[in-house]
């Protein structure tokens, strides 16, 4: 699939990609400070630190794939699908947690809202800018 060349699409992909790159880097290189801002602690649990850094690497890599869609138009469709699926699933996962586990820290609620909005922007872009 190909996407139409659009400044709006590029802006959506740039925002989504930069968000994931930043979160991924922060998660990989400063996981304790990343989670403490929401009242959590990884402590000295090496397995949890390892898992958190690994997840950060995954998020960082996804951010790079999303940013490739801005640089190479042939990657725009793939990048948009990756952004849409990952942002919506993060947001939906957090929403499920709210309903099953209760209210988390305010920062995590804000993250959920942003993730759902960016995911919906990706879905909009898939509908609006996909070439038939």
127 neighbors 12 (Cβ within 8 angstroms): no
Instruction: Give pLDDT tens digits for 57-89.
Output: 999 999 999 999 999 999 999 999 999 999 999
Blockwise average pLDDT, block size 10, the chain, 132 residues:
91 98 96 89 91 96 98 96 98 98 95 98 96 76
Which pairs count as long-range contacts for 88-94, CB under 8 Å and 24+ apart, including other chains? 88/115, 88/116, 88/119, 88/120, 88/122, 88/123, 89/119, 90/115, 90/119, 91/115, 91/116, 91/119, 92/116
Concatenated DSSP letters of 58-96: HHHHHHHHHHHHHH-GGGHHHHHHHHHHHHHHHHHHHHH
In the chain, what are the domain boundaries? 7-129
Q: Which two tokens stand for residue 19?
A: 């968000």
**Helix (H/G/I), strand (E/B), else coil: 130:** strand
Structure tokens at 58: 């995954």
pTM value surpassing 0.85: yes
């Amino acid at each position: 699939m190909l996407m139409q060349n659009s400044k709006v699409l590029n802006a959506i992909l740039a925002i989504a990609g930069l968000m994931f790159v930043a979160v991924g880097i922060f998660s990989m290189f400063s996981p304790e400070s990343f989670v403490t801002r929401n009242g959590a602690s990884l402590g000295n649990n090496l397995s949890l630190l390892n898992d958190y850094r690994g997840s950060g690497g995954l998020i960082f890599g996804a951010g790079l794939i999303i940013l490739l869609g801005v640089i190479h138009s042939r990657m725009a469709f793939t990048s948009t699908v990756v952004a849409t699926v990952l942002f919506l699933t993060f947001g939906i996962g957090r929403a499920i947690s709210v309903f099953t586990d209760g209210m988390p820290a305010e920062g995590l609620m804000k993250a959920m809202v942003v993730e759902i909005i960016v995911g919906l922007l990706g879905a909009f872009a898939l509908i609006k800018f996909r070439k038939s």
